[in-house]
Amino acid sequence: MTTRMMGAKVARVEDDRFVRGHGRYVDDVAPDALHAAVLRSPHAHARIRSIDVDAVLDLDGVHAVWTYEDLAPLAPAMGEPLPLLIPHPTLTHGRTQYALAKDEVNYVGEAIAFVVADDRYLAEDALDRIVVEYDLLPAVVGIDAARAAERLVHEDVPGNVAARMEQANGDAAAAIAAAPHTLSLDLEIERSACMPLEGRGVAARWDTDNGRLQLWTSTQTSTGVRAAVAAKLGLDLMRVDVITPDVGGGFGVKINHPWPEELLVPLAARLLGRAVKFTEDRREHFISSAHERGQQHHVEVGFDDEGRLLGLDVRFWHDNGAYTPYGLIVPIITSTQLLGPYKPGAYHVQFDSLYTNTVIVTPYRGAGRPQGCFVMERTMDAIAAYLGKDRTEVRSINLIQPDEMPYEHGLTFQDGRELTYDSGDFPTMLTKIKELVGWDEFETFRAEMAAQGRRVGIGLAAYVEGTGVGPYEGAHITVETSGKVKVATGLTTQGQGHQTAFAQIVADELGVPFEDVEITTGDTRRMPYAVGTFASRAAVMSGSAIHLAAKKTKEKALRIAAEALEADVEDLEIVDGVVQVKGSPGSGIGLGTVAVLSNPLRYAFDEASKAATQFNVGDPTKPPVAAGEEPGLEGKDFYSPPRSTFASGMHAVIVETDPLTAEITILKYAVVHDCGHLINPMIVEGQIHGGVAQGVGGALYERMAYDEAGQLQNASFMDFLMPYVTEVPTSIDIDHLETPSPLNPLGIKGAGEAGVIPGSAAFAAAIEDAEGFPITAMPISPSQLFDLRAAHHA
């Protein structure tokens, strides 16, 4: 009997390739390509008076140099701004940049000119020779400056407000006014960024013989890039193939598209008749991809003597950078997901999405949830402190109960659907996290440490994460005559272990050896209908679609085999790739043979295929391919859920703060996580480890240090402090809870982003607990903690 793969700790098959350096990334394809480089604005806000490229034109080895003026004559749509990918009725003043700046630049790093040369060295030499004259404009940097609106980023956007959005359930103001106790809090999270080890990259080749464009890009959505490139370059969609090879991390930034280079590179490849490649360098990634997280929040909350929320009113300000290509997804998520596992009483939320002269914002793992979690959990801690109650008691009394599922919040989520939790067991989760971290024993530990002159604190934070958003994903499965199973799904993979997890699903449903299953992702030639890899959706969406397609493949295999074996379909099973009568090993035929039989042939090409030729198979009185059937042992299906499925989790952390140096050390980190049924616990735990590491970065190390002029002061790995392995906890205690989702056939929920969400909230709580004064802004460095101590003890 085949061992069930779903739920097994199967080692990731892709890792052998990755750890041996055999991964194949965009920069590895088209080694013969010309190289592109981009001249980027050195100023945060300026009018472009003139651009002089004369000194580049006769440079040996330079093949093209373009500015905005060159684009429309090459492809009319290239003269238009880049797409606004996710419009929203409240995004009244959405703005996007041009592929190359037209008249004005709005952040340091905005693309101004594009050079193609024999190699990147020459291309960068050429950039040095381009002379641009600017009229400097005052820069708007930071949320305070954006709110003050004494200067404007876009002169036709009053108040720097791209959007103002409001949602409510009940009368929060009245509920707060009538509440026995009220508190107000001001809470802030700074900017950070996804910072994948592989930056952006694009390579393109124009196939003159076939009139086709082949594009490789390091993206989270190959179908999105394909549609955008076809539209912008004026090509038929059927003439554009987009292939996403191995991707060295995405974390959200690569869901934005098309980047200027994703259009300019294929345009150049077509024009020059040569392969062209752009490989982003690290400084470019800092100043010309995307950031996230920067938000200020003001909370008004009303509650009763037990800490029960009666009314919650949140007003916040989101820094969206210079443009809004990805719409309002991040602040919409904050505004809805900050509620976490709690019932807020009456709720009102309003946000402004504000322009600044800084790099654009797109979702970064967690996507607005770390901010929302910080707001809600800081509020919970503030209530507990005010009432003198244990922090877990206040949380407990506000939790949504399992028998209240599905729980409707009366709000609209980021996908335009109702914010309705499908399942979850938050009280059990709270019990588990308290046990895992040793919550009830902590005061003893604190006293022991205090006796040694050491200072420790404990904190806890909970989140709920809408995962697996629509609209859909699909899968196409082909069983070859060798019995090998080839699976294509259209979303992309950037290191999550999809080859392993998806193959597990196929092995179980189709009854084939795991080793025989090959997964292809992100190749529009194999699956042109797809959305992308974001919002912790790959397992839920493509996993479900693959499961459904495997089911169809199996049904077809059984139909064909039933005829060949002269048996009833109901009596057959597939075990280890062989269709057999149930419980009778040795009675059956291999799936490869079934594949042969599925495809009536005129011409044999090997011994096996002789069985499918016209004098050997079929009833000569019937059509070789029966009505309603198709040749080939294939299955194709799509999964499109009514709404998101909601995963949840709680993190707890114990920190030590040095009384002298204010250094912050992690003593223990505990995670309880519920993503429904686990496909592969090892992969889920790996996702949690990576997420926690990014959470540590966001809480204690990473920030975007812009100066007042809009120059990013730390645009390198020397000064942007991504935590090393030495900065993340050496062990993370993990406990799972499996509350299946009723929304998909496998009962799964997303797990990709979860680990990062409660980091800042949990660390702030633990540091506050150690120090005895409120922590209201994250991240926090030892220097800042030192300053806070001075302020509070003055």
Candidates 716, 742, 772, 773: give the one binding other proteins (CB under 8 A): 716
CB 78 within 8 A of CB 268: no
Shortest distance (Å) from residue 129 CB to other proteins: 11
Q: Whole-angstrom distance between the N-terminal and C-terminal Cα of the chain?
A: 72
50 binds other proteins (CB under 8 A): no
Stretch that binds other proteins, among 19-27, 131-139, 253-261, 659-667 (CB under 8 A): 659-667
138-169 as b/e: b if 16+ CB within 10 A: bbbbbbebbbebebbbbeebeebbbbebebeb
3-state helix, strand, coil in the chain (%, to 5): 35, 25, 40
133, 186, 629, 719: residue in contact with other proteins (rule CB under 8 A): 719
Amino acid at 119: D
Is 701 near other proteins (CB under 8 A)?
yes
- Locate tokens 């994703």: which residue? 262
Nearest C-alpha neighbor of 318 from the set 124, 163, 498: 163
Give the pair of three-digit tokens for residue 163. 């959007």
600: left (phi over 0), alpha (psi -120 to 50) or beta: beta
Candidates 46-54, 287-295, 619-627, 709-717 — which segment interacts with other proteins by CB under 8 A?
Answer: 709-717
Q: Which residue has the tokens 């499908």?
A: 422
Q: Which stretch binds other proteins (CB under 8 A): 42-50, 67-75, 230-238, 657-665?
A: 657-665
Q: How far is CA 640 from the centre of its chain?
A: 19
Q: Is 663 in the site for other proteins (CB under 8 A)?
A: yes
Other beta carbons within 10 angstroms of residue 303's beta carbon come to 28
Is residue 69 within the footprint of other proteins (CB under 8 A)? no
Nearest alpha carbon to residue 766 among 463, 462, 460 = 460
Residues 501-560 that bind other proteins (CB under 8 A): none
> Residue 760 in contact with residue 189, Cβ under 8 Å?
yes
Nearer to other proteins, 152 or 203 (CB): 203
Q: What are the tokens at 316?
A: 């916040």
Give CA–CA dist 411/524, Å, rounded. 35
How many residues of this chain interact with other proteins, rule: CB under 8 A? 30
Least separation, in Å, of the C-beta of 143 and other proteins? 18
Per CB under 8 A, 665 contacts other proteins: no
Query: Which of 52, 555, 568, 787 lies at the binding interface for other proteins (CB under 8 A)?
Result: 787
Separation CA 375–CA 301 (nearest Å):
11
Is 783 among the residues that bind other proteins (CB under 8 A)?
A: yes
Binding mask 732-771 for other proteins (x = CB under 8 A): ----------------------------------------
- Binders of other proteins among residues 121 to 150 (CB under 8 A) are 121, 124-125, 128
**DSSP reduced 3-state for 356:** coil
Does residue 386 interact with other proteins by CB under 8 A?
no
Per-residue CA distances from 389 to 11, 396, 718 (Å) = 45, 11, 43
User: With CB under 8 A as the contact rule, which of the stretches 187-195, 357-365, 447-455, 714-722 interacts with other proteins?
Assistant: 714-722
Stretch that binds other proteins, among 360-368, 630-638, 665-673, 718-726 (CB under 8 A): 718-726
Contact stretch for other proteins (CB under 8 A) within 279-287, 402-410, 432-440, 547-555: 279-287
Using the contact rule CB under 8 A, the part of the chain among 94-102, 130-138, 177-185, 721-729 near other proteins is: 721-729
Q: How far is the CB of 661 from other proteins (least distance, A)?
A: 6
**CA dist., res. 201 & res. 771, Å (int):** 45
Task: Determine, following the binding rule CB under 8 A, whether residue 359 of this chain makes contact with other proteins.
Answer: no
Q: How far is the CB of 714 from other proteins (least distance, A)?
A: 6
Specify which residues 295 forms β-bridges with.
189, 318
Q: Which residues make up the interface to other proteins (CB under 8 A)?
A: 120-121, 124-125, 128, 281-283, 660-663, 701, 705, 713-714, 716, 718-719, 721, 723-724, 726-727, 781-783, 786-787, 790
